[in-house]
Amino acid sequence: MLTALSIKNYALIDDLKVDFPEGFIIITGETGSGKSIMLDALSLILGKRADMSALRNKDEKCIIEAEFSIEKYQFQALFDELEIDYDPQTIIRREILSSGKSRAFVNDAPVTLDVLSRLGELLVDIHSQHQTLALSDTAFQFEIIDAIANDKALLDEYIRLHQLLKKEQKKLQELIEFQKNANKEYDYNLHQLKELKSAMLEEGILEELEESYEEASNIEEIKESVGESLYLLNDENVGILNNLRELRHAFSSLTEYKQQYRELYNRIDSVFLELDDLGSEIADIDENIETDPESLEEISNQLNKIYSLQKKHKVSTVEELIAIQKELEEAVSKTENVDFELNNQHKLVAEQQAATLTKATELHKVRTKVLPALDKKLTSFMHELGMPNGKFAITLTATDNFFSNGNDELSFLFSANKGGDFGQLKKVASGGELSRIMLAVKAIMAEHTALPTIMFDEIDTGVSGEISQKMGDIMKTMSQNRQVFAITHLPQIAAKGAYHFKVFKDDVNGKTTTHLKLLTEEERITELSEMLEGKNSGASARNHAIELLRKG
């Protein structure tokens, strides 16, 4: 519950600090006194976006701080999920800086507005007049049913399965789209792949082919040079090997005389052996070299094919062509295997649909089971709140479609008059009737939720004194196991509260400032008297106020 609220430099508030007790708390005040300002400030604590125009003094920051006692509630898991430190006395602070930026803190740790909103949803429910429109919103109507059905775990599991289903359906659709486009491109990709494969591409092949082409193109010149080389090496008269052989023989007889001669002989011998080996290789070349016009043409064709492919694909290296070939291989392979993948994906989607349907069916049964009790409770409240002929027609129909919260279509209709036609709430119920229905809904939901604090902002608008007494009784009953605030203009409701605060304005140093005060018993009598008859109320109004408090 909300135990303390502090507001500094916000709208008409300079510095306001107030402690709140448990139970049923009344807040009253003249129109324009600043009741909405406090609610707006509290909304910032609950995650509403900040507006710099709300700063009273634009040169100073605004600080709003609220303390909540949450030890009775099982909120530890949410704190863990949001990765914030749990404290049974949790303090939330919001700061709006003069620069226009804002900061939020939970137990002195900085948090995002999303975190603040998630936490705020569990701490306080602020009900204002415009929220009655939510009664006609299907999502809110499902919230009512799900709260009574206590099906959160079941609903969470359905949501998980439904999200998985959508994920698998998206994959299936992507495969279908891929197949459509891939079939169009398959023949073209396959043709390009065959072209690339026919070039027998591998790293370094271009340099190797260019070298082979140069050799084949100059084969006659090469043969002539090889023949001349063999002549220079092996001729009997001028051949290098014969002369070197004689040189080696001449030095062999000197090896016995001196180390230097032996070293020279070894060097001559080494050169002879090297040249002899060289001569053998050149002889092999001479023996195997031959003019082959067909080989030259083949090499030329392969080179031209690679050059053409480079030009076609706008690349300059064989490595880039190889990369393109790999991409085409993957695309062609994926196209050829897409039927198999589609078949598997269809099976996955069918399995996920079956699992989702099973959970949706469980949800439908649980929800349907509580509809009679909901109808009975709502009808009972309608009679209690002066709508003896008010009736609801609530039906759930399971469909073949999966929605975000199940496969149910909900019809939540209302009739205010005997024999009247059922219709949508916003069309057949007046503003006052909607307020009473919303109070009934909140009272029913309160029995099934762990919401620590609920605030009713002038929910009594448009109702009579007798009905307002009934509304006050309902709110008072709700306050037995949670903190309930009621901002009201009706003395019949104000008298029901365990505590009564008054919002008022006064002028301080030429500035209008809003204050909030807890009324004493005597001050409360005076406030109720003025609510009954105005500022100049007399003894009868005072006696009436005392009687209201006594009955409250």
- Chosen domain end from 278, 305, 337: 337
AA identity, residue 30: E
What's the average model confidence in pLDDT over 400-424?
Answer: 89
Strand partners, 127: 456
Q: Are residues 236 and 122 in the same domain?
A: no
Q: Are residues 218 and 78 in the same domain?
A: no
Question: For the segment 47-67, what is each residue's pLDDT rounded down to a tens digit?
Answer: 888 877 778 888 889 999 999
- Domain-located, residue 376: no
Question: For the segment 302-342, what is each residue's pLDDT rounded down to a tens digit?
Answer: 788 888 888 888 888 888 888 888 887 777 777 767 778 88
At 498 the pLDDT is: 95
Buried b (16+ CB within 10 A) or exposed e, 423-436: eebeebbeebbbbb
Q: In Å, what is the CA distance from 494 to each residue of 66, 250, 329, 458, 491?
A: 24, 136, 79, 11, 5
Q: What is the CA radius of gyration of the chain?
A: 46
Confidence label for 453 from pLDDT (cuts 50, 70 and 90): very high
* Residue among 399, 442, 352 at smallest CA distance from 148: 442
Q: Helix/strand/coil (H, E, C) string of 476-513? A: HHHCCCCEEEEECCCHHHHCCCCEEEEEEEEEECCEEE
**Residue that is written with structure tokens 């998630």 in the block:** 118
- Domain-located, residue 524: no
Domain containing 484 — which CATH number? 3.40.50.300
Q: Is the dihedral of CA 229, 230, 235, 240 positive or negative?
A: positive
- Chosen domain end from 272, 302, 337: 337
pLDDT of 8 strictly over 80: yes
Q: Are residues 32 and 115 in the same domain?
A: yes
Q: Are residues 186 and 322 in the same domain?
A: yes
Residue 396's SS3 state is strand
- Domain-located, residue 357: no
pLDDT of 40 strictly over 80: yes
At 234 the pLDDT is: 82
Q: Are residues 118 and 4 in the same domain?
A: yes
- Domain-located, residue 545: no
CA-angle at 95, arms to 504 and 125, nearest 5° = 60
Tokens of 247: 């040189």
Q: Are residues 44 and 188 in the same domain?
A: no
At 130 the pLDDT is: 61
Q: Are residues 62 and 208 in the same domain?
A: no
Phi and psi angles of residue 512, each rounded to the nearest 5 degrees, phi first? -80, 130
Phi and psi angles of residue 454, each rounded to the nearest 5 degrees, phi first? -130, 140
Q: Are residues 114 and 244 in the same domain?
A: no
Q: Are residues 96 and 183 in the same domain?
A: no
What's the average model confidence in pLDDT over 464-492?
Answer: 90
Task: Give the Cα separation of 460 and 436 in Å (integer).
Answer: 8
At 129 the pLDDT is: 62
Predicted model pTM: 0.68
Strand partners, 126: 455
Confidence label for 399 from pLDDT (cuts 50, 70 and 90): very high
Helix axes 318-384, 293-313, angle to 10 degrees: 30
CA-angle at 258, arms to 255 and 264, nearest 5° = 60
At 421 the pLDDT is: 84
At 165 the pLDDT is: 96
- Domain-located, residue 254: yes
Q: Which of 161-175, 354-368, 379-393 has the lowest mean pLDDT?
A: 379-393
Task: Classify burial at 354, counting beta carbons within 10 Å of its beta carbon; exposed 0-12, middle 13-18, buried 19 or more.
Answer: exposed
Q: Which of 2-6, 199-203, 422-426 has the lowest mean pLDDT?
A: 199-203
Task: Give the Cα separation of 244 and 378 in Å (integer).
Answer: 123
- Chosen domain end from 284, 318, 337: 337
At 103 the pLDDT is: 93
CB atoms within 10 A of CB 171: 14
Q: What is the distance of C-alpha 384 from the center of its chain?
A: 44
Q: Are residues 202 and 116 in the same domain?
A: no
CB atoms within 10 A of CB 206: 20
In the chain, the number of structural domains is 2
Q: Are residues 98 and 211 in the same domain?
A: no
In the chain, pLDDT over 90 holds for what percent of residues? Answer: 38
> Which structural domain range is residue 84 located in?
1-128+451-519
Pairing state between β 391-403 and 406-415: antiparallel
- Domain-located, residue 259: yes
At 133 the pLDDT is: 65
How many residues does the structure list for the chain? 552
Residue 150's SS3 state is coil
pLDDT of 186 strictly over 70: no
- Domain-located, residue 411: no
* DSSP 8-state secondary structure symbol assigned to residue 489: S
DSSP per-residue codes, 113-127: HHHHHHHHHHHEEEE
At 1 the pLDDT is: 92
- Domain-located, residue 422: no
Question: For the segment 103-145, what is each residue's pLDDT rounded down to a tens digit?
Answer: 999 999 999 999 999 998 889 988 876 666 677 788 889 988 9
What's the average model confidence in pLDDT over 354-375?
Answer: 95
* Residue among 168, 161, 166 at smallest CA distance from 345: 168
Question: For the segment 197-244, what is each residue's pLDDT rounded down to a tens digit?
Answer: 777 887 877 777 777 777 777 777 878 888 888 888 887 777 888 888
Q: Are residues 182 and 124 in the same domain?
A: no
